[in-house]
Amino acid sequence: MSEQIYIGVDLGGTAVKVGICNAEGKLLQTYEGPTEVAKGTDAVLANIEKYVRQIVEDSPYSWDQLAGVGAGVAGFTDLKEGVVILAPNVGFRDVPVRAILEERLGKPIKIDNDANVAALGEAWGGAGKGVDDCVCYTLGTGVGGGIIIRGKIYQGFSGLAGELGHMSVVPDLEAIQCGCGKMGCLETVSSATGIIRMAKDAVERGDRTSLAQVENIMAKDVFDAAKNGDEVAERIVNRAAFYLGKSMAAVAAVLNPQRFIIGGGVSKAGDILFDEIRSVFAKFAPEPLQRGVEIVPATLGNDAGIVGAAGLFLRS
């Protein structure tokens, strides 16, 4: 039989990205088209169909080789029923995506939320390739995550496993309230939002920092200042890294994963962030839980979502 292929769909508010993967998680070809949210749910689903048919047509593969289509959606999804319950950025509410696309494409369909799908993409075809048990952190506006157990996404009791940004790690005395309503969540200090907040607080307090000259501080400005020896910026970066490393030590005691994979915009800071995370992890994780364990950057970047969506067939 000829090689089977899998298509992953990353359904975003502006663009639909689709990609063809082989059974080993290698991304072979990509295609992108507008989502056209304004035209309504039917139009968005018709676009997905169109782009999936188009990418296969453009490729050296035949429609018969296509074993299934997976899709990642930012929002709440009912995995068992294949229904998107609520996905505000594409305007979906209670849309039976699986049933509709199966009807339109005549292929098996799977859906999951974007954080899980991105984690699976890294685990399957990126920085976790060949590793059965890994934990993925995504450091962006918030802190997301995904747990890969025995090679597959682990959902937990109500589909909320991997909400790593909501581990309460900051001691009460220094804690601030998180968007989730609780105090001291990792997200309050280790997300781009948290880093920017700490920088603005420092400037407002009148701390001596080059960040005072920056008009609209972004997380990247804080990392750049830290790399240039700005002590206030260094302190902020170290604080973000401290709670990441400490949370990983806690995760290690619970799950003993082989690899931690860190992706998302903030992870682009590189060594200045990773060195400190690794050092804090080594400080708090008992030695046997460190042995053979790696903390590595994600490698797929924005393609993680496509690859992971394709992987839903083999790894979920």
Judged by the rule CB under 8 A, the positions of this chain that interact with a second copy are 132-133, 135, 145, 147, 149, 154-169, 171, 173, 180-185, 246-247, 249-251, 253-258, 283-289, 291-293
Q: Sort strands 134-139 and 143-149 into parallel, antiparallel or unpaired.
A: antiparallel
Q: Which is nearer to a second copy, 84 or 169 (CB)?
A: 169
Least distance in Å: CB of 223 to a second copy? 25
Least distance in Å: CB of 292 to a second copy? 7
**Which of 159, 157, 158 has the alpha carbon at shortest distance from 146?**
159
Q: Which is nearer to a second copy, 102 or 294 (CB)?
A: 294
Place of tokens 């699986």: 98
Distance (Å, rounded) from C-alpha 208 to C-alpha 201?
12
Least distance in Å: CB of 243 to a second copy? 11
Specify whether the CB–CB gap between 259 and 294 falls below 8 A.
yes
Q: Which is nearer to a second copy, 100 or 136 (CB)?
A: 136
Least distance in Å: CB of 158 to a second copy? 6
Q: Which is nearer to a second copy, 56 or 135 (CB)?
A: 135
Q: Which is nearer to a second copy, 33 or 75 (CB)?
A: 75
Least distance in Å: CB of 25 to a second copy? 20
Distance (Å, rounded) from C-alpha 212 to C-alpha 227?
16
Q: Which is nearer to a second copy, 99 or 250 (CB)?
A: 250
41-58 and 97-105 helices, crossing angle to 10°: 40
Least distance in Å: CB of 270 to a second copy? 26
The one-character DSSP state at 310 is H
Least distance in Å: CB of 226 to a second copy? 22
- Residue 133 DSSP SS3: coil
Q: Which is nearer to a second copy, 171 or 229 (CB)?
A: 171
Distance (Å, rounded) from C-alpha 174 to C-alpha 282?
23
Specify whether the CB–CB gap between 262 and 224 falls below 8 A.
no
Specify whether the CB–CB gap between 48 and 85 falls below 8 A.
no
Least distance in Å: CB of 89 to a second copy? 20
Distance (Å, rounded) from C-alpha 277 to C-alpha 22?
34
Q: What Å distances lie between residue 307 and 176, 182, 183, 230, CA to CA? A: 36, 33, 35, 38
HEC secondary structure over 116-139: HHHHHHHHHHCCCCCCCCEEEEEE
Place of tokens 């909320």: 160
Q: Which is nearer to a second copy, 66 or 185 (CB)?
A: 185
